[in-house]
Homo-oligomer: A and B are copies of this chain.
Amino acid sequence: MGTVRTGGDRRARRRAETKAEILRIAVELMEAEGVGGLTLSAVARRMGIQPPSLYKYFASRHAVFDALFAEGQRAFLAALREGATRAAPGLPALHAGVTNGLRWGVANPALAQLLFWRPVPGFEPSAEAYEPALEAVALIGELVEGAVRTGELHPSAATDEGREVLAVLLAGVVTQQLANEPGVPFDEGRFSRHTGRLLEAFRRSYPPSPGRG
């Protein structure tokens, strides 16, 4: 069927640029109107084209959300990684990674809501989009294990239990901050400013020498 396209350089680049522009505008609108309030019509208006033209780039509104979910997961994972590698291995890396992840979440409320809540009825991320989420979970697990290896946390921190408790803390910070003080930066947030305190409580819940907690 037809010629196999090997080159397609310029066209492919234009197409990728347009897709990126659609996603960029979508995020802007989601931050203004709410994640579930995104309409393709509004995106098209902003771009100066007609709504059906968007379907040349994304198969459906859900496909746009899926691309945003994937983009968000990758960015969140990158934030975790970047924070973790900036600090010394062990507890400092865990602390810095998680804090940088939360910082990203507060700075990117629309994408963060897409990742942590279920704001779009009927939307479920595809397996590909969800893959970096698994990586993020794995990375956090490794960071906890690192702190166990350095003797800063009890080994029981690196179990399902420990990871789940940590996940609750992270989700709690992002949720409260985004739900109650949208737009307020991380360092000034009435809830996000307790991140350090909460991680400290986590540490104290898994003291390296058992029996002293």
Hey, which bits of chain A sit against chain B, CB under 8 A? Answer: 33-37, 113, 116-122, 160-161, 164-165, 167-173, 175-176, 178-179, 182, 190-191, 194, 197-198, 200-202, 204-205, 213
Residues in B neighbouring A116, C-beta threshold 8 A: 175, 179
Q: How far is the CA of A173 from the CA of B169 in the complex (A)?
A: 8
Q: How far is the CA of A167 from the CA of B180 in the complex (A)?
A: 11
Q: Which of B113, B160, B176 contacts A168 (CB 8 A)?
A: B176
Cβ distance A3 to chain B, nearest Cβ, rounded Å? 43
Q: With A169-B172, A190-B164 in contact, is A197–B205 under 8 Å at CB?
A: yes
Cβ distance A78 to chain B, nearest Cβ, rounded Å? 22
Q: Please name the 7 residue pairs, one residue from A and one from B, whose CB atoms are nearest each other, closest first.
A: A172-B172, A37-B121, A34-B121, A168-B172, A36-B36, A171-B175, A175-B175
Q: How far is the CA of A89 from the CA of B35 in the complex (A)?
A: 42
Contact, CB under 8 Å: B194 / A122: no
Residues in B neighbouring A213, C-beta threshold 8 A: 204
Q: Which of B34, B117, B167, B198 contacts A165 (CB 8 A)?
A: B198
Q: How far is the CA of A198 from the CA of B205 in the complex (A)?
A: 9
Residues in B neighbouring A120, C-beta threshold 8 A: 34, 36
